Amino acid sequence: MLTLDKFEEASEAVKKVTQETKLIYSDYFSEQTGNKVYLKPENMQFTGAYKLRGAYYKISTLSEEERSRGLITASAGNHAQGVAYAAKCFGAKSVIVMPTTTPLIKVERTKNYGAEVVLYGDVYDEACEYALKLADEKGYTFIHPFDDLTVATGQGTIAMEIFQELPLVDYILVPVGGGGLATGVSTLAKLLNPKIKVIGVEPAGANCMQVSMEKGEVTTLPEVNTIADGTAVKRPGEKTFPYLQENLDGIITVEDSELIVAFLDMVENHKMIVENSGLLTVAALKHMDVKGKKIVSILSGGNMDVIIMSSVVQNGLIARDRIFTISVLLPDKPGELVRVSSVIAEQKGNVVKLEHNQFYSTNRNAAVELRITMEAFGTEHKKQIIKALEEAGYRPKQVRANL
């Protein structure tokens, strides 16, 4: 049972390994939504995510014999680091099975905490199946990342801290993968204040909890497809599902494109790196049909591969019309490039890249193609630049930006 006594016990235990992640009031998101928005920055934990809470508390409750056999788990990254770090604290061996698609930064950090890493399968569910097989073969103690009530109790300590800082919170938004974090947070929140609303947020391409809730039973998705790798789970937990049925007040699904824009918002307005799974609750703010409420968005983690980060930033700039590309046809004669550049410069556009294709037409005197990738302040500025080019006699055509 998830009881208040156990949550209090877990809260004291996790203080030994967690950093204080005080709520951050967001002027930007509050203004955007008409609510009072607070961020719970679990991306600032030592291992880069909240998962250390559940892993450490679970391992602290094991017997010496269970720990001495060695610990094993499956994870897309954050739980892996939590188990590896917690195991190191207790002097226990840890083996982590991770999907082959796991970002390199999560694999390397897990190894750095002393864990043995095995890469297997394309998604978490396949890695988990293999980890359970290894546990049976070698006698390891399995630490489930979400379908374990003790682990969920450790994750729920986040809610205890939220209430200590913001007793009158109205809504808590919590990311959902397998459901461990949502189970702990929603259960403790309801114990402390039955009137509070706890909303789970899933990627649209991995909405196993939403489907399961609608069907009234744990359901497996045929496949998952999302950039939110930390929540790319086909099937939610069996043990935790009844708690979620009772305590979750709803599920919001978020498209990957919304996460890309949310990343840009977080970097520019809060100077924080939050991984795609952690941004689910930020993207969900725009889906909330409420005003004047105190809302806490849990930022579950910040372990993001630099290459993925670069791609997300570029796509975010394109989505916001901060970067765009146009195609312009010009006569192939001296001075035309300067003339086009002058029009763009007068409108304060900043050219990022030029591609001059003389072989666009067999009649070079009739037309060559100039593709211009440029930076703008946003949609209105982009329209202003395109309008100026049209007034100068050109017929600019917007094409897919390619950085």
In one letter, which amino acid is 389? Answer: L
341 classed as catalytic: no
Helix, strand or coil for residue 295? Answer: strand
Q: Which residue has the tokens 């999302």?
A: 226
397 classed as catalytic: no
Nearest Cα neighbor of 279 from 149, 175, 401 is 175
Q: What span, in angstroms and rounded, lies between the C-alpha atoms of 280 and 263?
A: 10
Q: What span, in angstroms and rounded, lies between the C-alpha atoms of 208 and 178?
A: 8
Other beta carbons within 10 angstroms of residue 54's beta carbon come to 31
Nearest Cα neighbor of 190 from 159, 162, 152 is 159
Which burial class, exposed, middle or buried, applies to 162 when counting CB atoms under 10 A from its CB (0-12, 13-18, 19+)? buried
- DSSP code of residue 20: P
Which burial class, exposed, middle or buried, applies to 256 when counting CB atoms under 10 A from its CB (0-12, 13-18, 19+)? middle
- DSSP code of residue 394: -
Which of 212, 297, 300, 382 is labelled catalytic? 300
Strands 36-41 and 24-25, by their bridges, are antiparallel
Q: What span, in angstroms and rounded, lies between the C-alpha atoms of 388 and 346?
A: 9
| 73, 303 contact by CB (below 8 A) | no
- Here the tokens at position 67 are 């720990």
Tell me the CA end-to-end span of the chain in Å, nearest whole number: 53
Q: What span, in angstroms and rounded, lies between the C-alpha atoms of 181 and 147?
A: 10
| 103, 304 contact by CB (below 8 A) | yes
Which of 51, 106, 234, 294 is labelled catalytic? 51
Instruction: Report the catalytic residues.
Output: 51, 300
